[in-house]
Structure 1
Amino acid sequence: MVGIKDIAKAAGVSISTVSNVLNGKKNVGEDTKERILQLCKEMSYYPNTIGKTLKSGTSDTILFNFSDFDRSFYLRIIKGISDYVNDNDFDLIICTEKSCEKYMRSNLTSGAIILDAKMKDNVLNGIASERYPIVTLDRITDNPYIKSIVVNNYDPMYEMVQQLVDNGYRRFGFLGGPEHTADNQERYKAFSDVLENNNIVFQRKNYFSGDYREKSGYSAAKIIMLGEELPEILVCANDNMAIGAMKAFRENGIKIPEDIAITGFDNCDLAEAMELTTVAIPNYERGFLAARYLIENVKGRRNVEPFRISAKVKWRNSVLVSKIK
């Protein structure tokens, strides 16, 4: 593994000269500086800045914490975060679940973006401070050092289900994610409010539980097919589960949308290819905004008012086109 001593030896200079160049000091001649930087590139030497960070007690690095590699929308969020971070000369650390807590210290990272239902509120409240701001993408908390950027789940789900009712659908099934999550609660609340407001009875036996992964949607569809009668339409709390259900139905000769219609939520990468009606969340922009607000708070321009992101319904052929305006 190449170290600073190797660079100094190759350049024919002292270790302190290499250190001065890497730390941006101006007491080294331009030719020597260019030679050292070129050698660093050729020898794949990347300076370790952690020691410097520990000494100064500050960091130009932000942390993104998430919990599920199986959901493609995370990649769009990460791209948005990464673009803003890079444009503003910050670094990015990505980690999952409990491993992130040890990095949530002001001498290692400047602040954190959280999208992990397993990260408890009491942990975040214990860490967030003026020196360590946090942005959450999955909840709203009452903390003066935590900014919340959350999706408006209710309105687009209400709009979609009301349109389905207006165009003749009456026998509904609902495939939900983990019931403790805010996203699932808001999406189901909008769904049930539409049915109640239109005097449509929804029986709890037609509520099926999943975990937001494709496999759980596939399993739920298998259970649905055991019943005497299929719902006219299965409203799913996210796209992955909807896609899993679609695969199971089609494997068993059940036509979509003729035998059963399906909707999702997220507009993941496969949604368009599967012709899935869904709600499109601007996830790249979601990540970009999270990074922007976090870095602004790191720099002392405090803004912790909750921000709700709007989302739009995307009508596709997983519902009967003749029934949709």
Structure 2
Amino acid sequence: IRGVSKVIDVQYNLFVRGIDDYDDYTYINNKRFDAIILMSQSDRDNTFIYNVVEKGIPLIVLNRQVDDSSIINILSNDKEGAYKAGEYLIELGHRHIAIIEGIEGFKSTQQRKEGFLNSLIDHNVSIRQEYMIQGNYDMQSGYEGMKALLRLKQPPTAVFCSNDDMAIGAMNAAFESGLNVPNDISIIGFDDIELAKYTTPSLTTVKRPIEKISMTGAEAVLSLMKMNKDDKNMLQNKVLINTELMVRQSVKSRSSM
């Protein structure tokens, strides 16, 4: 919301609402909306997306890749970010590395898992089925996922959590089990939420530039509103915004553990 608000000017009013609030889409029309910026999480949003497209309302989809090339997508390069997270752990000497995944079916879950696994493959690190734990993007699933990993005969020395909330839950599970983070086990997250800087230890994570994505989306939708049909075909349909690895204190070199 902050990113979009920085871009749109006083001639437009920003209306914020969850699309799940609508029982039907009768009220989604050109009389009510000049344009729509949708922060999407899963394929379940496609019904709403195609309803908007059918009505000819300018639309930008943020956060999730939509397979339809006619729809403009702006999203973070989650695959690249997760790859960098895995590679960083490997460079520090970790070879027993686990992942706590996000919500099943979410594009972000798939992209982050794929990027992470690619880093292991490219660096000849074994992928172990028991090191892949299904999470739910909340602290409780991170906590439970870490507990499950610590019960293994050979627990991992490092865990990549697919978001920061799960990483915080995982840290608490490690502490509860008498382990020190990062001296006994390293933990890395994804998103760089505000709380990540203030955990103890501070959380190493992948920064997903949501505000920049939102600003870029607002700029794109304003341009889209002013264009004719032929000009719209010249717009770039997929824009990937790069992530950044935020190195803090929750990860330690394996050689010094």
User: Could you say which TM-score interval applies, normalised by the shorter chain?
Assistant: 0.7 to 0.9
Q: Which of 202, 207, 222 is matched with 1:280 structurally?
A: 207
Q: How far off is 1:129 after superposition?
A: 4.8
Instruction: State the partner residue of 2:4.
Output: 81
Distance, in Å, in 2 between the alignment partners of 1:195 and 1:154 is 13
In 1, the alpha carbon distance for the partners of 2:54 and 2:222 equals: 14
Residue 88 of structure 1 and its aligned partner are, at CA, apart by 4.6
Counterpart amino acid of residue 280 in structure 1? K
Distance 1:224 1:175, change over 3 A: same
Closer/same/farther in 2, CA of residues 187 and 227 from structure 1, 3 Å limit: same
Moved more, 92-101 or 257-266: 92-101
Taking structure 1 as the reference length, the TM-score comes to: 0.69
CA contact (8 A) 1:125 1:143 kept: no
The answer on 1:178 being equivalent to 2:103 is yes
> Could you list the per-position Cα deviations for residues 22-59 of structure 1 after superposition, in whole angstroms to 9, with x for gaps in the alignment?
xxxxxxxxxxxxxxxxxxxxxxxxxxxxxxxxxxxxxx
Contact 2:96 2:158 (8 Å CA) reproduced: yes
Equivalences for residues 163-242 of structure 1 within 5 A: 163-242=88-167
Q: CA deviation at 1:117?
A: 2.7
For residues 126 and 81 of structure 2, the distance between their equivalents in structure 1, rounded to whole angstroms, comes to 21
Deviations 1:99-143 (A, max 9, x none): 254543211112222223354324412321583011111123325
Name which of 245, 250, 253 aligns with 1:313: 245
Equivalent residues of 2:93, 2:253 under 8 A apart:
no
Unpaired runs of 5+ in structure 2? none
Q: Distance in 2 between matches of 1:216 and 1:177?
A: 9
Equivalent position to 1:95, from 8, 17, 21:
17
Change (3 A) 1:322 1:192: closer
Residue deviations 1:63-116, cap 9 Å, x none?
xxxxxxxxxxxxxxx11112223x252111211242254543211112222223
Call closer, same or farther: CA 1:197–1:304 in 2, change over 3 Å: closer
2:74 is the alignment partner of 1:153? no
Cα shift at 1:160:
2.6
Aligned pairs, number: 245
Matched, 1:142 2:71: no
Distance 1:81 1:103 in 2: 22
Provide the aligned C-alpha RMSD in A.
Answer: 2.2
Whole-angstrom CA distance in 2 between matches of 1:288 and 1:103: 26
Look up the SS of the partner of 1:150 in the other structure: strand
Amino acid of the structure 2 residue aligned with 1:240: D
> Does the aligned pair in 1 maintain the 2:3–2:214 contact within 8 Å?
yes
* Secondary structure at 2:195 match in 1: helix
The CA distance in 2 between the partners of 1:188 and 1:279, in whole Å, is 14
Report the identity percentage: 26
Q: Match for residue 132 of structure 1?
A: 57
Q: Distance between the aligned counterparts of 2:184 and 2:163, measured in 1?
A: 21
2:175 corresponds in structure 1 to 250
C-alpha distance in structure 2 between counterparts of 1:102 and 1:319, whole Å: 51
Question: 2:218 corresponds to which residue?
Answer: 291
What is the distance in 2 between the residues matched to 1:283 and 1:198?
30
* Runs of 4+ residues over 6 Å off in structure 1: none
TM-score by length of structure 2 reads 0.87
Superposition deviation, residue 306 in structure 1: 1.1
- Asked if the contact 2:29–2:55 (Cα under 8 Å) also holds between the matched residues in 1, the reply is no
Counterpart residue number, 2:30: 106
C-alpha contact 2:171 2:181 (8 A) present in aligned 1: yes
Question: Partners in 2 of 1:242 and 1:184 — Cα distance?
Answer: 14
SS in 1 for 2:84: helix
The structure whose RCO (Cα within 8 Å, separation 6+) is larger is 2
Q: Structure 1 stretch 220-229 or stretch 241-250: which is displaced more? A: 220-229
Task: Report the CA distance shift for 1:256/1:194 in structure 2 as closer, same or farther (over 3 A).
Answer: same
